[in-house]
Every structure is written in C-alpha cells, then in structure tokens.
Structure 1
Amino acid sequence: MNVSPEFTAIGGNRNPAAADWDTNGSQLLAFGANHSIALWDPSDTSLHGVKSLLNGHTDVVNAIKFFPTGTPNISILISGAADHTLRIWRRSGGPETRYESVKIANEHSGPITRIAILPSSELFATGSSDGTVKIWKLVHDPDFSTVDIVLTQSITLTPRHFPLAIALATLDETSTVLAVAGTRSTIQIFVSHDTQFQLSATLTGHEGWIRALDFTREASDGNSDLLLASASQDKYIRLWRLHRGEELPAVSSALNDPVLGVLGKSLSNKAHRFASATSKYSITFEALLLGHEDWIYTSTWRHRESKLQLLSTSEDNSIAIWEADPTSGVWVCITRLGEISAQKGSTSATGSAGGFWVGLWSPDGNSVVSLGRTGSWRKWTYAASEDMWAQEIAITGHVREVKGICWSRDGAYVLSTGSDQTTRLFSEWKRDSGSSWHEFSRPQIHGYDLNCIDCVTDTQFITGADEKLLRVFDEPRGVAEMLSRLCKIEATSAELPDAANIPVLGLSNKAIQAVGDEEVIENEKEDEREAVDPASIVRKSTLDFNHPPFEDHLARHLLWPETEKLYGHGYEISAMAVSNNSDFVATACRASSIDHAVIRLYDTKEWLQINPPLKTHSLTVTALQFSPDDKYLLSVGRDRQWAVWERNAESTYALKHSNPKGHTRMILGAAWSPLEQPTFLTAGRDKSVKIWQITDDGVQLKSTVPATAAVTAVSCNRQLSQGCVQFAYGTENGEICVCIASIEEPDKVTVTTINPELSPTKAINCIVWRPGQGDSKQQIAVASDDSSVRIFGVSA
C-alpha cells in the first residue's frame, strides 16, 4: 500500500527564538513545533501549509537560525533544543524540502535558548541555560557537501545569568562585536581580539529582563555607525549607537523630548568607550521607543525601501513597525498590527490572543509574520496601492498533546481536541484553483484539558475532559453557512443558533444572536447595571468571509453553543463512544477500583443516564467502540481485560463475553471490523494487535499481529469487507502501520509502515478512517502527543 501525507497541522513553540525565515536559499520559514522543526512557505499561493517536519531532537526546540550560504540551491539550518544539543541540517538542490541532519554537537550542559549568526562569515554563537555563550565556526567546502562545526570559545557569563538574547555584527576589518543580554537588566558588549571575545562594555538603563537584541548599519554602506536595538520586559525598546573614532556623535535630541517627562531622568548619555585592534569606539544611548504596553519579545531591523525600520512584537498583542522621523530624528511607530483590544488577558473567546512571541520580516521586506500564544501564525502583507498592511491566510495548530480526533458522520470535516484545552475543526477549502486544508472553527475553548471527542450527528459533537463531565455542542448557523460556502458542505435546514460566546468567568458556551450592521442595539433596560453585554451580540458581517478564518475570528467568533452536560463520573473522563445510529453515548473515567471503572450509557434524545452502569473492569477503561450494527459494545482497559456487551430487548447492554487476560499488558485500543461475522481488534502495551471473532462457541483469537513497540491506538476501515480486515495502528514511539489481514488465512498479514520521516515523534493517541471515501483512495486522521494533527492518504 502507498501511504502519503496530505495535511499536517501543528502549532509553534512559544519561544521568541524558535523561528527564522530563510532570506536567500529556500525562502522557507522554519519554526520549532514541539520536538520537531516545521517547514512552511508563507508565500505559497496554493496554501498547502506545513510542507514537512524535521525529526531528531528529543526535547522542545527553542532556537532556529538559517545560515546564509550565498547560493539559492543550498540551505543550512541550525537548531538548538532543550535536549542540550545543537543540530546542523542541510538541504541541497531540488524542489523538495528535504533536510538531513549532518552534525550534532553536545557541548552545552543546559537547554540551548538562542542562536546568533554573523552574516557573510562562518561565525555563529549559541546561548544556553547553563549560563554560557559559545562561539562556533562552520567548516565546509565550497558546495557544502561536507559540513562540520568547531567550538572556538566558551564565555561564562558573570555575574551568572541566562542569555535570552544574542547578536553578532562586524565591527571593522579585524573585529567582531557580540552583544549578550538575558535575565538581568544589563547588556554586555564583547569585542573580538584575534579570535577571542573580551568584555568591553556593560550597558545599563533597562529595568527588566532583556528579550531581544539586533544589530544593523545605520545606512547601507559599511562605514556608517552600528545601531543596536534592545527590547525588554520593562515595555521599552532602547537604541544604542556604536560610533567609530575619538569624538562622540552628535547628542541625540531624543533625550530632550518633553514627551518623555519623568523618564528623562533615567536616560543617561554616558559614553562607553572601547577599542578594537585598529580603532577606538564609543557606545551612546540613542533613543527610547515608547508604545508597547507589555513585555516585548522581539525586535528586528530591516532596510526597507531605503529606510531603516524596526519590527517589534509584544505581549500586548501588537506588532509595531518603527521609523525615524526624517525631520526631527525621533523614532515613531508608523504601523501597528494585531489586536488593539480592551479585552486583555485570557485566550478565551472573549479575551485576547495572549501576546505575540515571534515577529519576522519576509525576505523581500513586504510581509511580516507573527506567532501567538495559541500556536497560530498570522501574516500581513503591505499593499502599496492602498498604503496599508492586509492580513492574509496563515497556519494554525495545537500546541499541546492532541488526545482525541474524529470525523463528522459524513466525513466532511475532522474534529480534534487535546491538552491545550481547545477543540478544532479542520476541513478542505475547495476553490477553482485547487483545494487546501485549514482550521475553520474552534468550537470549544475550555478551562480543562480535553481527553476524547466523538460526533453524535453531522452538526453535533460531544467531548470529555478532566473536569469529570461531558459537554454536547451544536453547530451554529454562522459556521454552517461558512462551511457550505467554502467547503461545499451541505448545510442542514434545521433551526440553528447564530453564534456563541463564553460569558466572563464562565466555562459554558452560550448561544448568541447575530444582528445586521445597520441595526442599533437598543438597551431596553433603563438601569445601566443591567446593560446589554456587547460580547453577547455579534455583527453578521463578522461571520461573513470568503476565505478560511484568521486567528482573530477563530479565537473569538467561531465557538459552538453548548446544549447539554452529562454528569455521573467521579474522575477525569478517559474514553467515550457514540453508537452508529446516534442513540447512545458510552463513557468511562479514570479509575483504580471496580466502583469507578464503570461504563455509563446515556441516550441522546433526553440526555438521561441509562441505569445501571456496566460493571466488570477493575481499572481505567481506555477505549470504547460500538459494533457497526450497534448490537455489541466493546470495552478494553488497563486491567488487561476486554469485554463485549450485547444489546437486549430493553435497549440496554449486558455482559456477553469477556477475557480477563486478553493481553499480557494493559489494553489501550479497540476497534470493530465491518465483517458480517462480528470481528473486533484489540491493541496493547504487549506490542501486539489481536483479531478476535465472535462465533456460536464463544470468542476465538484469529490472529496476532506483532508490533515493534507498545500499541496505543488501532482503527479499522469499515468500508473494506471482502473477507479482509484493513486496519491501522499507532505505537507509543510514533510509528504508524497500515495492515490488511485475511480472516480465512490469519497468518497472511501485509503490513505497510509509514516512513519514519513522515511519522509523529511521540505516542499516537488516536487513529480514525475517513467515512464516505471511495475504494481506491482512503484517508486516515492521526492525533499524536507531539501536538500534531495529520491526514494521510492510503491507496492500494
């Protein structure tokens, strides 16, 4: 069988250094995504999102930099992670985005937090939580066919602190300057003498940790002064001038600006003098940039249209572009992007995005991208004709483990949920020029980690969370019309609420109405204390767009209203299944005793519990599934037992078969096949998938499929039933296998293992086959602990 990746959604790591945009080679943007490095082309007009993931690191990727090779055919990527290792990746020629790891260095004894590169040289620097900055040299031949790195110096920071920002620049013909800052309020300037860097100056002025440093030349010629931008948690950006010569530069008029008021007292223009091998230099304070209202994470220079501009991102949900006023020389914010929101703080549907952690210029300087707390990228491109920055489609994804995934009943969209406390809906945007997958709705933004999800109907789903109860959600009209318009998904004619929101301090999504843009929202009550909450009403134009929604819409306007809560369990919900006729929901919770390891059944008409609960397991039930005809319910658990419950005349289920020693280790996955003779599969930590068949004599073990690691998920294709069982399973180390087994010849099992480069790096939590697909091409959706949602195409 041929298995190929069709879509990958994964969120970016919340670290300002964990992303870089290649300016000369591949033009790709690389960002840390959990333990992997994701490659994305923001300028791709077909909008195919994440192109590939580079696997290799064993902990969170914190720092990424492209090394300028000077040739468009070769690309070198340097990455550092919390696993203390530095990796060099190389891509050579060809249209494919395949990088290979060519060098691993283990010199640091703590997580690597920063990488800085000196343009047009072989030099780069790394900073780590071990309190050191290391200077490296890249050694390579002209075509980069062999690449190695040599450690040339290790600088221990004194007084001891962690480097959160590093910048390198060429000072003159013989010397290089290195700026280091971090968990102190000072900036240390090191200058190279021969090959070693020596501390030459300490810049004071900031009043908080310093998060970003960046050097640039004031003008495009190499003899102009160097400018250093430093951004801090004290909400200010400071500019410093490195001037060559004995005399000091003209005093900056910014110091006398009356707007600064009381701040003027802390603005010292003391000159810090130092010398390189050939020249004398001074560093003076140049300007203070005011405007952000919270911690600043990045500041990046760019010469754009013969003007020098600075891009900054902040926890206040804004991106600012700064420029010096040509007449007064005062630095002003000329563009502000992002959210200018009074609703600060939370990442819920009424709050803000939780800050922008990364800000990057595109190679041509006409686009900027930023990464927010929700793992989603945003992109703005400058339109010269309108003289404004317009937001464009970017990519989104989970930022924590994805625990549950399911297709809608008709296979039109996929829903995923996980430990980042969100539920996300992905579907295919179908248009004349092609199609691409995007996140179209974020139905649930929650206060608890979510563990499982299943669809009741095409417009209703149910989730279980750590809060011990289950919640049922109905599709709002705004989402139904958008999916109909963009994804060609037929909208139901049923009465639907317009939209939903989360009340302040609430966890339940409430249905709200959409009003026309011209309608005046009249406050019927005269008492101001009972005024209409503006968040309870949404304008119709807000929900009307002709492209996949931006992160602003997803985080605020595309919730689904909650219609029911199901109570009964005493601990965190662990497993759930909806019957194929949508009449029943079976649920289970984490348990260490037979009293809590019960399966509760609810009917979906009145949402009432059907008593008594089903009792046979003694530990947590890990998976539940109804047979295709709903005659049987299969349950498996950590007690190594599987149980088959049969439906009786009263429409309740009773124990029919069980095997207390179905596997030698805990059972983690269960699935039914579509065969006429009832056949089911179980998957366990004993590294095996077992195929069982119910006969008149009981239950027979038909086949055992061995795996290379503990099997954590299994799913059966219910559309293939010619005497064969087609199933997919996933293991705890991320391996995915697609198998076909014959019931008549149980020893004959064909196993296709997905290429490890295309597989997740952590445990597979859930696999589901897409319903309603043709025989020639099938699809599976996979949820993994590496925070990715992946869709693979399976063809014979």
Structure 2
Amino acid sequence: MASAHLEYIAAGGNRHPCAADWTEELLAYGSGHNVAIWKPENNHNQGVETLLAGHTDIVNAVKLFRDPTSEKRVLISGSADKTICIWVEKSDAKFELVKSLTEHTASINVIGVLPESGVFATGAADATLKIWKLRVSEAAEVEVDLVQSITLTPRYFPLAIALAKLRSGQLVVAVGGTMANIQVYMQDKDTFSFAAKLTGHEAWVRALDFTRESSKPDSDLLLASASQDKYIRLWRFHAGEELPEVAAAASDPAMTVFGRSLSNKAHWIGEGESKHSITFEALLIGHEDWIYTARWFTKSEQDAAPRLLTASADNSLAMWERDADGFWTCATRLGGFWIGLWSPSGSTVVSLGRTGSWRAWSYNAIEDRWLRELGISGHVRAVKDIAWSNDGTQLMSTSSDQTTRLFAQWKRDAATTWHEMARPQIHGYDLNCLSAIGATQFISGADEKLLRVFNKPKAVAHLLAKLSGTTEDAGDADLPDAANIPVLGLSNKAINALTPEEEAATEPSEETTITKSTLDLSQPPFEDHLARHTLFPELEKLYGHGYEISCVAASNDGSLIATACRASSIDHAVIRLYETKEWREVKPPLTAHSLTVTSLAFSADDKYLLSVGRDRQWALFSRSTPTTYELAASNPKGHSRMILSCSWAPVSAFNVFATGGRDKNVKIWAIDPSSSEGVNADLKLSMPTSAPATSVAFYTGTAAEPNTFILAAGTEDGSHMQPSGAINALRWRPQAKAEGQEKPQLAVASEDLSVRLYGFDGLVSN
C-alpha cells in the first residue's frame, strides 16, 4: 500500500504585526490563508513542521498558549475572512480545528489572550472589541462564550490589544489602533467598561503589551505601547490611593522632548481595593520609522528587570533595558521589520523581514553578544511554477511575489534537510513559469512579454557542491562568479568576485560587490546572503510574444525552448520555438490554438511536443528536423472546458500522455502506433476529480509493476493535509541514483504560497 509523507515545506510569513506567536518550543505564524508551525530551536533545522488550513483569506492574528486547566496547547487565529479559528494540539505540533467563531462582521486584526483567566479578546475592522470566555476539557473539547461586544468610540479600528490581571483580581484590557490614544477597559463583575484614555502618541498605536515589573506579588504592571510616531511609551499601573514614587520624578517640568512636555497626568481606575493609578513612565527614543511590535520578556528571578523587544520599519530589532539609574536604553540592535518575538527562555529572538523570511539570533554568553542562527524562508504570494534540475539535485520555484528561488539539500552527518540555497531572480514583474535547461541554466517567463535565460554562477555552484554534495562540472570554470541588479535595471548583470585585497583597493559604488569568501559558507545562506549575493547572471532575453508569458518548456535534450503567451485571438495563441545554441527563434511559430496555451510538454524522446489550452483542445506536434516541429494531430474537443495541464508518461515506446481540465476530469490518451493515417491519439481513460484538475504529472521513474504508470493530479481545492489553495504545478523529482535516492519524491507548487515536497513509500520496488 502506497503512503505519502511530507518532507519539506517552504512558506513565507504574512506581513502583519500580529500574525505570529511563540510559546514553549513552537512558533506559529500566518502564511497566506494558513497557519505555519515551526520549531525555531530545533537542532536539526527541519523548518516548518506543518501548515494548518482552516481560513479562506489572509491570517492576520495568531496567539498560541497552554491552557492551564486542561494542560492542552491552544492556538487562536484570526483572518481577513472575518472568522476566528480555535485549534487544539492533538499530538506534537499537530493541531485540530475544533471551533470557528463568526460573530465579527469584518477582517480580524488582533487577538489578545490571558490564559490563566480563560479570557481572550479580539479586535476587527468592524470597529468592535469582543471579549470571550474559553474552556478546554481534558478531552480537548472546547466551549467558547461571547461575554461582551464593545463598539469602539469614537469609531476606530483596533490594531493592538493587551490583557492583564490587577492585584485585586479584576481584568484590564488596553486597546489601541487607528487613532493616537489608548483606551483602557476595566472589568466590573462579568462585563468591561471604559476606564481611562491614555494620550501622548501622535499617530496610530500598533502594539501593546503588559508585564509585571518583577515577580514580587505586589509589583506594578508596566504597559508598553508602540506607535507609528516612531516612539515607545511605558505606562505604570500602580495599586492604591498613593501615586508611585517614580511619578514625581517624571513630572519635572524640565522633562521635555523636542519642545513637547512629557505629561504625567495620573489616570485613576477602579474603586476601593481595586483602585489603581496609571502614570506615564518613560519615552523610548531610537527608532527612525513606524514601530510594529513590542514584546516584554521577564525572567523568573524575583529581582530580574523586564526587557522589551521592538521591531520597526527602519529594519531594526531593538532590545531595551533599564539601567542602574532607572533609565531605559537600547542595549542591542539587530535586523527586523514586521514582527519581533522572544523565545520562552529569552535566549533567542526572531524577526520577520520585508521578504517574508524569518531571521533568528541566539545569545552567546561567552562572547556576550547575539549571533545569527539559521532561519526559514518561503514565497509570500502564490507559487506559479516549479522545476527540477535535470539531475534532480535542485528544485526551483517561481511566484507572483516576483522572485525565483532555488531549494536543495543540506547534508551533514546528523541530518539531511531542505533549505533555500539561492534566490536566482528578483524581478519587477510577477513571474508565471520556468523550466530547467541542462545542469546550469534555467528560463523564466513573466508578465513582461519576454523570457529571460540565466546561468548558474560559480559561487552558487561551489556552495551547492559543499553543502549538497553535488559535483562541480569542468564547465563550471567558465561560469561567471556572481551577479547583481544594476540601479534602475531588471537584468541580472554578471560580475566577478573580488579577493579581499581587491575589495580593499576598490572605490565604493552603488552597485553590489561580492568577495570570493562571501558564499563560502558552512550552512545554508542567511536571508541577507539570499537577497544580495545569490542572483544568477542573465544570459539572454527572448522576444516575440505580444502579451504576458503563460508557459514554457525545455526539450529533454536541452536544444529547444517552447513558449506561449496569454491570448484572446488566434494571432497571439501561437507557440514559439527557440534553439539554445544561438538563442534564435525557429520560424514560423506553431499554430493550432485560438486562445491561451496553458501548458507545454515534450515527450521523453523529444519526438513530440504536446500543447493544451483554454480553447479546450490539445495539439500534438511531431519533430521533422532537429529544430522544427509540425502539427501532427489535434482534438478540438479534448475536454468540455478549458484544459489546464498536460504530462507525458516516461516510457516513449507507449507514447501516453495525460490532460487535466476545468471540467473536473483527468484524461489519459495514447498514440495509436498502427494508424495508417498519420498520428492519432485515442482516449483510454477518463478519471473524474473533486474539483477542476489544475496540474497533472507522470512519475518519471520506473514503477514497481511492469507496464504501469504513476500519475499525480492536483486540483483547485484543498484540504487539511494538502495545500489549501489551487495546485499550480506538480513535478516528480528525477531519479538521482548517485545520491542514493530510492523513494519517489513529488514537489507541489500551490496558490497558498507554499512549496511542498512529499516522499512516497510503496510506489516502487526497492
């Protein structure tokens, strides 16, 4: 019995400040419509453990915690689909969706939790704050009650929520958002009422977080608020009728910033034993752009002072500490952007950058500094196509996020894991398709009406040989060292790597330089390396099409490229061929279709070129000379709706191919070798699918049974175990026997932002 297991997931993080949380060893973050689960401190660098599919739109908010009553780990996610999903962990990093809440009428922006009280709060673009009571049983059964719905006035959208328990046992909720003030609500029996308005910020409030000043039972609460005004404000919640001593010092009229007085007006909330004062504590200045997140970390030691981590659009991750004199200073500054998170131990921090990649740092006590660790990366928009190198050692993907990425294995004694090893193309247009050409080249097509051919640079070839165990060909010596993108350009320009001596003697310029040691790494590249130093130099541009490129395929012998573009008429619905020796177009173009050609595939022996299109037909072109093809057969009614994908069986003697269409059918066709009237392909089998069949792929190896083919089909729908969006491409890994690969592996590109790699047991005999 065949079985599949997930071996690798690449999925970028959503660029929303509330879309991630870290509890114990698990970090959960929004990735498109999914929630990704990652173990950042896993010594084997396995990357994403799983993707949770339950939402139908972008996940904006994630909270992860352990319920103190049931001891179950709970995940709460909120999405632009207006729903809140409650997940409960069933086994290690495996969560089950147990409840979906639909009371909000607009996109969920933020979630705040207070696990010890079983209370959480949600804020949405419907300008409401909702308070919920959560109960989780030991059997993982969940009950959720809506305690209160608060309409925020004056009307604004909440972007930050923080909850805390006062010394009296009452709960307090701080809310900030699309105005400059912070609203504080206080619990009175079972409901919350407005208690105070904290003023001082001059722009939207993006982040709020409570902490205890120390682990002493009578210590004050501190609230950190971060804003688009580039400042962090600290507020003190102090129990009793008396103001805290620190308030007097802060009320000194000499305390001014840029001519503005730091107001220390005390706000009083509660009555009797629950009476608290709220006073302004400190203004933290150091960021130069909007601040998106602020997170406290407090050690368990009684006298340990809390530390604050902030992430800003100035590309920095700042750690703030209070010195012996009581002043808050920025003790450490790292790289960040959207999100900054502490590990539960405080010894590791992570940040989500502009590209959707996670960066990590761990504190080294011996060196007394924070050192870079390996993070994870992935696309941040739909993955449109994937392609394996001819030897099966590298997988490339291309996406609407305008990047092409290269994934390969990192082999060492303890483990073998997959990682992004290069980012060959960073473009200005959405990328739609790509194909590998031989061992060192690839071609990609985008919305810019032309195709670009790229060479693998020596630096990347050397890195792959070192980390993946691939062999460096003799021809690699002729490859360029590296590439960069000239200012205001779209073409990757080949450059020579510099020795340290040459770099020292070179005048600084706006163009990127690279030294020979830059990619001489002992681990996969960090995000900085990927974004700056792993580009592939561009070899050629191929012109001729009048609209956006829709598909591309390289012949198996690498001598020809077949391409097509989006078309609404016969004039543009042509297939253009280019020979790869001189990169010239082979004219005239091939004609058969009347609308966009959606997929192209060469047969195993390159004898035939198969095309399918939106006009519902497939067409077969047979090779007449080494560089020319002629129309041999077509079926104008191959499917009842548009055909989206095609694939050839690996054994050319059978000449079998498959097509998949929007009519929810996968069809198997075979060329009749006995036909005396030219080429003719007959329908042998039609298999219905649950949704439109968007991709088909024959396994390229040898099946366990003779005369048996293995076919994978992807559809437009998704489920919990599979991609939650349409599957745009399926590609079986070419057999790489030199690596000892025995089990078939299937790469999947999805509309849900992910690139996945599945391994199969029982498909072939070992």
The residue type paired with residue 312 of structure 2 is S
Which among 702, 708, 721 is matched to residue 758 of structure 1?
Answer: 721
Aligned residue runs from structure 1 range 18-417, under 5 A: 18-23=19-24, 27-70=25-68, 74-92=72-90, 94=91, 96-141=92-137, 143=138, 145-250=140-245, 251=247, 253=249, 262-276=257-271, 278-304=273-299, 306-327=304-325, 329-338=326-335, 356-417=337-398
Question: Using a 3 Å threshold, how does the CA distance of structure 1 residues 510 and 583 change in structure 2: closer, same or farther?
Answer: same
Per the alignment, residue 479 of structure 2 pairs with 496
Task: Name the structure 2 match of 1:751.
Answer: none
1:512 Cα shift?
1.4
Structure 1, 776-785 or 244-253: larger mean CA deviation? 244-253
Quick one: which of 729, 732, 739 aligns to 2:713?
729
Question: For residues 5-27 of structure 1, what are the alpha-carbon distances to aligned partners after superposition, in whole Å with 9 as ceiling and x for unaligned?
Answer: 1111111111111111113xxx2
Q: Relative to structure 1, is the Cα distance of residues 706 and 138 closer, same or farther in structure 2, using a 3 angstrom cutoff?
A: same
1:651 and 1:516 map into 2 onto residues whose CA distance is 43
Contact 2:391 2:736 in 1 (8 A): no
Do 1:255 and 1:287's aligned partners in 2 also have CA atoms closer than 8 Å?
A: no
By how many angstroms is 1:410 displaced?
A: 0.2
Amino acid at match of 1:712: T
Q: Distance in 2 between matches of 1:381 and 1:508?
A: 37
Deviation at 1:521, TM superposition (A): 4.5
Corresponding residue for residue 743 of structure 2: 777
Aligned to 1:678: 655
Partners of 1:732 and 1:68 in 2: CA distance: 35
Q: Is the 8 A contact 2:405 2:424 kept in 1?
A: yes
TM-fit CA distance, 1:276: 3.9
TM-superposed deviation, 1:72: 9.8
Alpha-carbon displacement from aligned partner over 1:121-162 (angstroms, at most 9, x marks no partner): 111111111100011111234x25322111111111000000
Cα 1:58–1:334, aligned 2, differ >3 Å: closer, same or farther? same
Alignment of 1:620-659 (within 5 A): 620-649=596-625, 651-659=627-635
The question of whether the paired residues in 1 share the 8 Å contact of 2:642 and 2:663 is answered with yes
Distance 1:576 1:252 in 2: 71
Q: Distance in 1 between matches of 2:260 and 2:521?
A: 50
1:473-514 CA-to-partner distances (Å, cap 9, x unmatched) read 111111111100000011122211111111111111111121
- Is the 1:475–1:496 Cα contact (8 Å) retained in structure 2? yes
1:1-51 superposed Cα distances (whole Å, 9 cap, x missing partner): 21111111111111111111113xxx2111111111111111111111111
Report the alpha carbon displacement of residue 166 of structure 1 after superposing the two structures with TM. Answer: 0.4
Task: Tell me whether 1:790 sits opposite 2:756 in the alignment.
Answer: yes
Could you tell me whether the CA contact under 8 Å between 2:226 and 2:291 is conserved in 1? yes
Structure 2: distance between partners of 1:31 and 1:522: 45
Which of 498, 503, 509 lines up with 2:492 in the alignment?
509
CA distance in 2, matches of 1:282, 1:178: 15
- Identity across the alignment (%): 56
Residue 696 of structure 2: aligned partner: 714
Counterparts of 1:366 and 1:536, CA distance in 2:
33
1:700 corresponds to which of 666, 679, 682: 682
Q: Which runs of 5+ in 1 are unaligned?
A: 339-354, 524-530, 735-755
Q: Cα–Cα, structure 1 residues 72 and 291, in superposed 2: closer, same or farther, change >3 Å?
A: farther
- What CA distance in whole angstroms lies between the structure 2 residues aligned with 1:245 and 1:107? 38
Question: Are the equivalent residues in 1 in contact too, given 2:170–2:274 (CA < 8 A)?
Answer: no
Amino acid at match of 1:315: A
Counterparts of 1:71 and 1:22, CA distance in 2:
17
Structure 2 SS opposite 1:786: coil
Q: Note the C-alpha offset of 1:776.
A: 5.0
1:596 match: 572
What is the deviation of 1:322? 0.1
**In the alignment, is the contact (CA less than 8 A) between 1:163 and 1:181 conserved in 2?**
yes
> Which deviates more from structure 2 when the two are superposed, residues 208-217 or residues 245-254?
245-254
Residue 2 of structure 1 pairs with residue 3 of structure 2: yes
Q: Is the 1:449–1:465 Cα contact (8 Å) retained in structure 2? A: yes
- CA deviation string 1:243-274 (max 9, x = no partner): 2222322336567698x865252421122222
Contact 2:338 2:354 in 1 (8 A): yes
Distance 1:511 1:416 in 2: 22
User: Helix, strand or coil for the counterpart of 1:125?
Assistant: strand
Measure how far apart 1:277 and its partner are: 5.3
Output one character per residue of 1:500-538: Cα deviation in whole Å (capped at 9) or x when no partner: 111111111111121122335545xxxxxxx66253421
Question: Aligned-pair distance for 1:173?
Answer: 2.2
8 Å Cα contact 1:175-1:193 kept in structure 2: yes
Q: Is the 8 A contact 1:513 1:536 kept in 2?
A: no
1:71 CA displacement: 7.7
- The number of equivalent residue pairs is 744
Counterpart secondary structure, 2:306: strand
1:478 and 1:783 map into 2 onto residues whose CA distance is 27
Name the residue aligned to 1:451: 432
CA contact (8 A) 1:74 1:144 kept: no
Secondary structure at the counterpart of residue 94 of structure 2: coil
Q: Which aligned pairs between 1:486-565 and structure 2 lie closer than 5 A?
A: 486-494=467-475, 495-522=478-505, 533=509, 535-565=511-541
TM-score normalised per structure 1:
0.91
Which residue type is aligned with residue 609 of structure 2?
L
Cα distance in 2, alignment partners of residues 717 and 168 from structure 1 = 53
Change (3 A) 1:777 1:140: closer
C-alpha contact 1:175 1:277 (8 A) present in aligned 2: no
Shift of 1:62: 1.1
Alignment check: 8 A CA contact 1:30 1:64 kept: yes
Per-residue deviation, residues 60-80 of structure 1 (Å, max 9, x unmatched): 111111233238962111111
Letter in 2 for 1:597: A
Deviations 1:629-684 (A, max 9, x none): 11110000000010000111363111000111111110001111123032211111
- For residues 262 and 335 of structure 1, the distance between their equivalents in structure 2, rounded to whole angstroms, comes to 23
Q: How many Å separate the matches in 2 of 1:794 and 1:255?
A: 68
1:412-423 matches, within 5 Å, as 412-423=393-404
Q: Tell me if structure 1 keeps the 8 A contact 2:409–2:417.
A: yes
Matched, 1:474 2:458: no
TM-score normalised by structure 2 residue count? 0.94
**Alpha carbons 1:174, 1:278 under 8 Å: kept:** no
The letter of the residue matching 1:487 is S
Structure 2 counterpart of 1:727, one-letter code: L
Q: Partner residue of 1:527?
A: none
Distance 1:257 1:776, change over 3 A: farther
Residue 550 and residue 424 in structure 1: after superposition, are their counterparts in 2 closer, same or farther (change >3 A)?
A: same
- Deviation digits for residues 694-722 of structure 1, max 9, x if unmatched? 12422211111221111000111222273
